[in-house]
Each structure stands twice: as C-alpha cells, then as structure tokens.
Amino acid sequence: MITHVRWVIILFLRTRLLVKNRVDTTAVMRYQRINLVIVSAIAFIAFTVSTCAAQTQIDVSDNSYSIRDDIRIGRQAATEIEKQLPTIAERSLVDNHVESVGRRLVRGIPSRYRHRGFLYRFDVVNVRDINAFALPGGPLYVNRGLIEAAANEGQLAGVLAHEISHIALRHGTAQATEAQSARFRLPAIGGAILGAVIGGNVGGLVAQGTQIGLGIYFLRYKREYEEQADILATQIMSRAGYDPRALAEMFRTIERRSGSGAPQFLSSHPSPEDRYERIIEEANLLKRPRPPRHDSAQFQRARRSLLTMAPAPSMQQAIRSGN
C-alpha cells in the first residue's frame, strides 16, 4: 500500500513538471483535473489504509477438519436437532424476518472468513430459554425467548452476528482439533451436540451412546473464541449497516431479563461486562453507518406475533413432551 502511495506522489510531481511552463487555458484546466484525480486517489488510499489498520485482525486457529467436515457435521447435527426441538413454521412472519436479518449480516462477512459450500440458514426454536446457537457449516438457531427479550432489531442482529462469527471462524471444529489429535467419529456427533444444546439430565440421556461431552466442543467455546466472535460480529454489524453497540446492549438486556437466575445464553458464555467494554472499544475503531439500522417495523410486528402465541415451553419441557 505504501508503494502505491509513492507512485501516486511521483505521478503528481511529473504532472507538475509537464505543465510548469504552459500558461494557456487548456493546459491549466487539464492540470487542475489531473490534480483533482490525484488528490482523490491519495485520499482513497489513505482512508483504506487507516480503516484496515484500525479494526482488529483476527488470527484463525489451526483446524485439522476440512471445510467438507464442517458442512457434514452441521448437517448431521441439524437433522438430529430438528427431530427433537419444536421450530416456528418456515415462511411465517417471524421466520421470514429472522432469515432476512441473517442474510443481511451474512453479506457483511469479510471475504477472508467466507467459505465455499457454507450454507447459512436461520430457524427459530419455539422455546422460552434465552439462547441462540450455531452449528459448523451454517445452520443457526435462535430461541423464541431471545427474540422476545430483544428490544429492537439491532439487538437481535447482534446475537445473530455473534453466532455467524463462530461459524465463519470455524470455532467448533477448531476447538475439537485442540481437544485431541485424533478425529472424532463424525457419525456420533449429531446426538452429542443435541445433548449439549439441551443440557441437564435430559441432555445427558440424549447424548448416551454417543461420544459423551463431544457436543461441548462445538457449542461451548473458550474465552478467546468468544472474544473473537464478539470482535468479528462487531465488524459484520458495521458492514451490514447496524450500530455494533447494539450487541453490547443486548448483553445488558439479557441480564435485566434474567432476574435472580442467569439465562442460558450467559451461562454458556463468559461474563458480559468485560465483553461489553471490548465491543464498544472495537465499535469505536470502525466507521459507523449513517444512519445505522437500529429497528424496523418488521421486527416489531414479528415480535408482537410471538407474544400472541401460547406461552413457549422450556427446552427440557419440549424434549420431554416430544415437541
């Protein structure tokens, strides 16, 4: 990039030499036009350099799994999850809106973290637990309880961007890689992930016969990975036109809604206060969209439609009742 700036400056100086002794109107106008182009080029390059240097660069972890493995694991786990968990009907008002917000965010993923074959899709699980989770390769689930807890579309987008970041950074298979050198047997992964999603005694029963505890590697991330997902989510939100600070606000919204008991989303993620400060710090490094997308009538209509439905069961109640 510095070399490009140097060539622009050289071009500028050569242009000045060429018109130095010409005073006719045509030459002066041509000189002014060339100067304008050069100054614009320098400004654009300077802006690009400063933007790239400002945002935090994320180092991708080693991963012994292939992209195809991520896709395969995600598809298998999604099949198991959708057999057991009640989801809001596809193409319903809520499902369409969550899908729309998700697609908007996916378009904001930086090219470095895009993977050929990853198919991002978004489903709403009809349970009251405040939670969201993502699977390798693209499937992403957000609980009805989390949508009801969100005050606006920006807060929902923040959680979706965070989970999208876990997929894009391939944290599930990266963490499994760190856990042991030998690969997990892929056919056993679906039930194990489902057990980790459900949690508690019911989750333990679901995971029986599979590699017990395996699902944790794909859904419960270490602090470094959570911080990376927060940082990338902040960048994705900015690129998608949202104010990234909405993600930080969502953490506090969840805390306020939790009352005396910690909600599941925060129990499976690190303490929100430090993350709040880090998200604000990263957001201040980025160019914010003007005006940022904060809320929409579509989100509020979708949220109201949930409030008119019968109360949602807990995750464990839904499993025990067979949906």
Structural domain boundaries in the chain: 2-52, 60-320
Q: Are strands 121-125 and 132-134 parallel, antiparallel or unpaired?
A: unpaired
Q: Quick one: tokens of 135? A: 């699977």
- How high is the pLDDT of residue 163? 95
H helix runs in the chain, sequence order: 2-18, 25-54, 67-84, 93-106, 144-149, 153-168, 171-179, 189-198, 200-207, 214-219, 223-240, 245-258, 264-267, 272-285, 297-307, 315-320
- How high is the pLDDT of residue 176? 83
- How high is the pLDDT of residue 212? 34
* Dist CA 150 CA 156 (whole Å): 6
Distances (CA, A) of 143 to 202, 238, 278, 321: 18, 24, 25, 17
More confident: 210 or 181: 181
Q: Quick one: tokens of 282? A: 């990263």
* Contact indicator for 19, 31 with CB cutoff of 8 Å: yes
The segment with the largest mean pLDDT, out of 7-16, 51-60, 89-98, 188-197, is: 89-98
- How high is the pLDDT of residue 88? 95
Is residue 260 pLDDT above 70, yes or no? Answer: no
Q: Quick one: which H or E segment has residue 142?
A: strand 139-143
Judge if pTM exceeds 0.95: no
Is residue 319 pLDDT above 50, yes or no? Answer: yes
pLDDT tens, residue by residue, 223-254 = 899 999 999 999 999 999 999 999 999 988 87
- How high is the pLDDT of residue 178? 82
pLDDT tens, residue by residue, 299-312 = 999 999 999 999 99
* Dist CA 285 CA 194 (whole Å): 38
Mean pLDDT, the chain, integer: 78
* Contact indicator for 125, 143 with CB cutoff of 8 Å: yes
Q: Could you tell me what percent of the chain has a pLDDT over 90?
A: 46
pLDDT tens, residue by residue, 5-33 = 454 455 444 545 444 544 455 554 564 56
